[in-house]
Amino acid sequence: MQKIWDRAVHFLSANESRIRTETQKIKGADFLVWRWIQPPLSCDKSKVWQGKAFPLDRRNSPPNSLTPCLKIRNMFDPDMEVGDSWDLAIQEAILEKCSDNDGIVHISVDKNSKEGCVYVKCLSAEHSGKAFKALHGSWFDGKLVTVKYLRLDRYHQRFPQAQGCNTPLKASSLHQNPTNTIPCLLQHGPLNSSGFS
């Protein structure tokens, strides 16, 4: 077992930047312990992707998507967010992470979600599969992001305005909306209380 333990310690020290080792006295003896390093709290509250927690394979990623809609959890903590437009930073971060995916057509941040939920609709199941692979199992702002697929009819039940969304969104579309039209990215319909996930 010592060989396995040594390999695990070596792997963590070589690959995990969010853990540091330090010596700590426990009952008078010195022990080497691991300490989790929290992400720094910056005053500008910029949101940062921090890499993958695990590789995706058939055990933790469906082989293909049957729906173009996603529910993303753990993108934020509503009690910790400040300002009126923090949700735009969340939307921007998702679009940046999925920048090679030209199929995201609607994003809605549930600002009251205790689970930090964001809902995404793509042009096709293929596009949602790409978004799933880019986001699921990633660290974002110190939180492990998880993604699951949602049925299209349930998505449209919650976000009726998303039915007409068919123009792919880009990260810059948050800042390049010169007219008074509201892109599908910024439409926040009232959240219903149907309780579906």
- For every one of its 197 residues, what pLDDT tens digit does the chain have, with 9 covering 90 and above? 999 988 888 887 777 767 777 788 888 998 888 877 665 544 444 578 888 888 877 777 777 788 999 999 999 999 889 888 899 999 999 999 998 888 999 999 999 999 999 999 999 999 999 999 999 999 998 899 999 999 999 999 999 999 999 999 988 654 444 333 344 554 443 344 333 43
β-pair type (146-150, 143-144):
unpaired
How many other C-beta atoms lie within 10 A of the C-beta of residue 32? 9
At 18, list the tokens: 């969010």
Strand partners, 150: 69
Between the alpha carbon of residue 47 and those of residues 66, 87, 105, 154, 165, the distances in Å are: 30, 11, 22, 29, 26
**153/174 Cα distance (integer angstroms):** 27
